[in-house]
Amino acid sequence: MPDRSLPLFWATGLVGLAGGYLASQVGWPLPWMVGALLAIILVRCLTPWQLTEIPNGRKCGQWIIGVGIGLHFTPAIIEQVAGHFSLILFGAVFTTVSSVIGVWLLRRTGEDRATAFFASMPGGSGEMVNLGARNGAVLSQVAAAQSLRVLAVVLCVPALFKLLVGDGVPVSHTHTVSWGWLALIAPLAVLVALGWQRLRQPNPWLFGPLLVTACVSLGANLQIALPDGASQIGQWLIGSGLACHFNRAFFRRAPSFLGRSLVATALGMLIAASAAWALSSLSQLDLRSLTLGMMPGGIAEMSLTAETLQLSVPLVTAMQVMRLLLVLFLAEPLFRRWNARAG
């Protein structure tokens, strides 16, 4: 038995760093996130060494990424995004509605209504588990399906985009690092995240920093960026935290249910890509940015992919945030109405 006094999270960080470094050497997209994610999952699944999450590590990573995403918001870009608000709203609604395919698939294979519904909604894992708990869902299956969805999107989408469109066009760093502004934004972002968390709002350590940074960047028309290496640290922390939700027991638990959830996720990704192509043909918006914005993944992961490929980070972020808000506000009322009609 390992010595419990030894903090395993130190090993988690080192394994994640090793995985991120190896992934960066082979040119993997989002290497410090995906590499850390895969390395820690392999250790937890193939060895008896159950690495534990770095205390507050994922929150810290989301804080860094939230600030970085917020710095992409400038008046010119927001004006462009606002000009296509109806299109963004339609894309978010379509992605949300398309999740009924996952609900239908799980219902056809015997899952109860609550479990099938909240396991299929493309919202945050914690939020869907909480909503499922209030409506009688099997929480372990909801959590498993939501975690597997994020894992599948993180592993597949960046790799597919790199295969199909490459690394993106390299750009010169016209945005400088302003330590004075960052010294103001960083602690303010922490305070807003703490307040957001106290109010029990969703994803506080990403939304809080993103919101305050975007407001400051827009108000002062900032043209600054995070220092080199900050994004990689955020990726490593988020990947390391996400990986600690997976082990052999996770993949052995109800394998048929996980398989059906994976099929539903794949169908959702195909539908999102098809809808993005249709919207792009009807507008002047970039197909790649629309596709990332409609993918049923996490906001941080899809925005980081957009940043890596030199796509429109605000557009991707706006579509992801819009979809999450729709799911959070509409999922429970829609489920209760469906349940009442079915009853």
Task: Convert the pLDDT of each residue in 113-122 to its tens digit.
Answer: 999 999 999 8
pLDDT (tens digit per residue) in 311-325:
889 999 999 988 988
pLDDT of residue 166: 63
Question: CB-hemisphere CA count at 13 Å for 167?
Answer: 8
pLDDT (tens digit per residue) in 291-300:
999 998 888 8
Beta bridge partners of 224: 176
Tokens 């330590």 belong to which residue?
179
169 pLDDT higher than 50: no
pLDDT of residue 233: 96
pLDDT of residue 6: 53
Q: What is the DSSP letter of 123?
A: S
Query: Angle, to 10 degrees, between the axis of helix 100-108 and the axis of helix 113-120?
Result: 140
In one-letter notation, the amino acid at residue 19 is G
Residues 36, 51: Cα–Cα separation, whole Å: 12
First and final CA of the chain: distance in angstroms? Answer: 51
Q: Are 222 and 178 in contact (CB under 8 A)?
A: yes
pTM assigned to the model: 0.85
Residues 228, 234: Cα–Cα separation, whole Å: 12
Q: What is the DSSP letter of 176?
A: B
Tokens 């993106």 belong to which residue?
168
- pLDDT grade for 309, boundaries at 50, 70 and 90: confident
pLDDT of residue 223: 86
In one-letter notation, the amino acid at residue 184 is L
Residues 136, 332: Cα–Cα separation, whole Å: 12
Residue 61 φ then ψ, to 5°: -65, -40
In one-letter notation, the amino acid at residue 210 is L
328 pLDDT higher than 90: no
Q: Are 11 and 218 in contact (CB under 8 A)?
A: no
Where do the domains of the chain lie, and which CATH numbers do they carry? Answer: 8-342 (1.20.1530)
pLDDT (tens digit per residue) in 251-282:
887 788 889 999 999 999 999 999 999 988 88
Show contacts of 108-115: CB within 8 Å, 24+ apart. 109/256, 109/257, 109/260, 111/138, 111/141, 111/257, 112/136, 112/137, 112/138, 113/335, 113/338, 113/339, 113/342, 114/138, 114/335, 114/339, 115/141, 115/142
Alpha helices (H) along the chain: 8-25, 31-46, 57-70, 75-82, 85-97, 100-108, 113-120, 125-134, 139-165, 179-198, 204-220, 230-243, 248-252, 255-282, 287-294, 299-308, 313-342
Q: Are 148 and 260 in contact (CB under 8 A)?
A: no
